[in-house]
C-alpha cells in the first residue's frame, strides 16, 4: 500500500505507546520500522520536529512509500482507530489514514 509522508507520520503517532501481547509487540515494532524514515529520507525531505512534536518536511520531495502492513498490522491499526472513534478521540488528521484500509471507509 502506498502511503505519503503525512500518512506515515500520523500512523507513527497512532502506533506510539501502544501496548499489547508479545506477538503484537513484535508486529508493532516491525510496523514502526517500516513506517520510520531512513537517513536518506530525512535528508531528502528535510524532516524537522519542533518542541511541541509537530513534524514538518519539504513537500516537493515527498514520494509515497510502498508498505506491506500485513493482516495483523492492519488489525492493530484498525483496532486503535475504532477505539479512538468509540472514545471520541478521532481528530481531523486521522481522516488521512482511515481511507487507507478498505473496511474502514465510510
Domain ranges of the chain: 2-104
Per-residue confidence (pLDDT) for residue 17, from 0 to 100: 81
φ, ψ of residue 46 in degrees (nearest 5):
55, 50
Q: Kindly state the percentage of the chain with pLDDT values over 90.
A: 70
| Grid cell in block for residue 100 | 487507507
The kind and range of the H/E element at 75 are: helix 70-86
What mean pLDDT comes out for the span 22-28?
A: 88
Burial class from Cβ neighbours inside 10 Å (0-12, 13-18, 19+) for residue 55 reads: middle
Collapsing DSSP to helix, strand or coil, 1 comes out as: coil
Where does the pLDDT of residue 99 fall: very low under 50, low under 70, confident under 90, or very high at 90 and above?
confident
pTM of the model: 0.89
Q: Give the model's confidence band at 23: pLDDT under 50 very low, under 70 low, under 90 confident, else very high.
A: confident
Amino acid at each position: 500500500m502506498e502511503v505519503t509522508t503525512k500518512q506515515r507520520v500520523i500512523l507513527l503517532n497512532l502506533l506510539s505507546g501502544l501496548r499489547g501481547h508479545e506477538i503484537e509487540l513484535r508486529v508493532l515494532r516491525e510496523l514502526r520500522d517500516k513506517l520510520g524514515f531512513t537517513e536518506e529520507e530525512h535528508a531528502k525531505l528535510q524532516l524537522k520536529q519542533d518542541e511541541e512534536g509537530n513534524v514538518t518536511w519539504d513537500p516537493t520531495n515527498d514520494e509515497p512509500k510502498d508498505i506491506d502492513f500485513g493482516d495483523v498490522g492492519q488489525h492493530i491499526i484498525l483496532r486503535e482507530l475504532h477505539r479512538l472513534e468509540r472514545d471520541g478521540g478521532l481528530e481531523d488528521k486521522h481522516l488521512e489514514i482511515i481511507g487507507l484500509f478498505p473496511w474502514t471507509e465510510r
